[in-house]
Amino acid sequence: MEDLGIKRLMSMVAMLVLILGVSAVGVRGLDACHEDCISDCRDSRVPSCYAQCVRERCNPPLATSLGHCELGCKVTKCNGLKSDAKELEVCANACSEGCKATYIAH
């Protein structure tokens, strides 16, 4: 049971670092970075590989509502899909498209 608490804490810390470790990067650059992380973490045995890769390499742009939407969606919905790279890619793309449809229209 303690193992589950540690994993949950690690996931929350990873998400917090993702949110706080930001800088301005274009949305296209962010998409390419996420694609690289999906590819690099495809065979990883580390559960947090995708979140860690995004945190270290992508520096998501949170200066906009679109950036907040994409990051939140990808972290909450896609992080647990690391065992299936195609499913992870579909999830990340769906987040991007859904957020763009929501925020670019306004």
Tell me, what's the pLDDT at 47? Answer: 80
Q: How confident is the model at residue 28 (pLDDT cuts 50, 70, 90)?
A: very low
Q: What's the pTM?
A: 0.44
Range of the domain at 93: 2-103
Conformational region of residue 8, where left means phi above 0, alpha means psi within -120 to 50, and beta covers everything else: alpha
Higher pLDDT, 12 or 21: 12
**Residue among 100, 83, 21 at smallest CA distance from 54:** 21
Q: What percent of the chain has pLDDT over 90?
A: 1
CA distance 48 to 10: 9
Distances (CA, A) of 75 to 2, 11, 19: 23, 10, 10
Give the mean pLDDT of the chain. 73
Nearest to 92 by CA among 40, 47, 30: 30
Number of domains in the chain: 1
Rounded-to-integer distance, Cα 6 and Cα 31, Å: 30
pLDDT at position 72 is: 85
pLDDT for 56-82, tens place per residue?
Answer: 887 655 556 777 788 888 888 887 776
pLDDT of 25 strictly over 50: no
